[in-house]
Amino acid sequence: MQARQPSARQLKLRDLVDAMRKLGIAARLGEAHPGNVSDARGAALAILSPDGVFLSSNRSAAELLGYTSAELVGLRLLDMAAERERASLAAQLSADPAREFAPITTMLTAHNGRPTLLVLHRQPIAANQAQQEQHDGQAAQLALFEEPLAADAPPADGAHLSEAVARDRLKYLMIGQQRERQRLAADLHDGLGQALTLIKLMVEDARMRLRRGQAEDGAQKLDATVLQIRETIGEMRQICGELRPLALERLGLAAALSTLCRRVERSAEGLAVNFRCEVDDRDVPDYLKADIFRVAQEALNNIVKHAAATEIRLALRRIDTGVLLTIQDNGTGYDTRPLSSEDIGSTGLGLAGMQHRVESQGGFLAVHSSDTSGTLVSASWTL
């Protein structure tokens, strides 16, 4: 199917930020209890056409469905749904998500044929209601995919409400842990497991050649094996890093952020990264440290890839209500200008994922950008 791209007139970074905030608020208000599990990689986000065609997606959404981001572009949700689900899904997709927030629960078939039950939240991407009406409701939609958890609703008896809620939360935690274990096991089996099997076969092949006196062929096979081992080590580090940043585990938050800044500075020629921390590591709850690190990491990556900046200032400090993380660059601002197709999938959805990560923990993310002063990303969390 021919990949379709959203209109550049409609998709600007400010519009994506606004759509993500509306979607997040509606999703939280629409849930009586935390009945969904988020992937450790972050929110699974995509941009869909009004009829459910993937226009762009982030890595989390693609991997949830067993594809790469590029492979998802142009696919239709209806084609991925189980046959018995298609009529219901088509009817729900035809409903206007701007009129009433109505999550869609459906069974989609992943790339490997595995059926996956998902909850789909949608929010039209438009600068304002007038713009949306001008386009006759045909604005692209920001979509958030979540895996639902089956759980009994708490009893209506108020005397037992707190105990039931506590039991439900424990149940969600245990199911969430099990989901993450299954996902990690799949990553290890499909990625590292197959890579190690390939390395074993390559070593055996090299050994047989050496025994036959084919020294040059054996040496070439061993050289190729070394390259495969390097790739496998990189994949292992990526999996470990997604579960928990190693620098954060070993060094603490402040030192991990400083190390991240130095790494970014070394990787980009002509870029200076200044870091200031006014927060003691003990003042930040453990459950927030990984989120703070991920937000800083994503923001720095966006700047390096798209902002053409020569200076970045990253700061973490205490405020009256909690902690504030700011990332300021002097590059080309992108808040109001139309996003290119590449920017939609990387900068746009990357920022939307950052926003979901921050605001799902009760924080707030703001972006201020202009062509003359660069971009300021601010994330605050209440302690």
pLDDT tens digits along 145-192:
987 765 444 444 444 445 665 665 555 555 555 666 666 666 677 778
Residue 187 confidence (pLDDT): 67
> Domains of the chain (ranges plus CATH)?
13-148 (3.30.450.20), 154-243 (no CATH), 251-382 (3.30.565.10)
Q: Report how far residue 113's alpha carbon sits from residue 76's, in angstroms, rounded to the nearest whole number.
A: 16
- Name the token pair of 73: 């572009």
Residue 138 confidence (pLDDT): 61
pLDDT tens digits along 269-294:
889 999 999 999 888 988 888 889 98
pLDDT beyond 50 at 343: yes
Q: Report how far residue 110's alpha carbon sits from residue 240's, in angstroms, rounded to the nearest whole number.
A: 24
pLDDT tens digits along 104-147:
888 898 887 888 888 888 888 874 444 444 444 467 889 999 87
Residue 254 confidence (pLDDT): 92
Q: How confident is the prediction for the chain on average, in pLDDT?
A: 79
pLDDT beyond 50 at 85: yes
Mean pLDDT of the region 296-300 = 90
- What is the chain's length? 383
Q: Are β-strands 141-148 and 322-329 bridged in parallel, bridged antiparallel, or unpaired?
A: unpaired
Q: 341 with 56: CB under 8 angstroms? A: yes
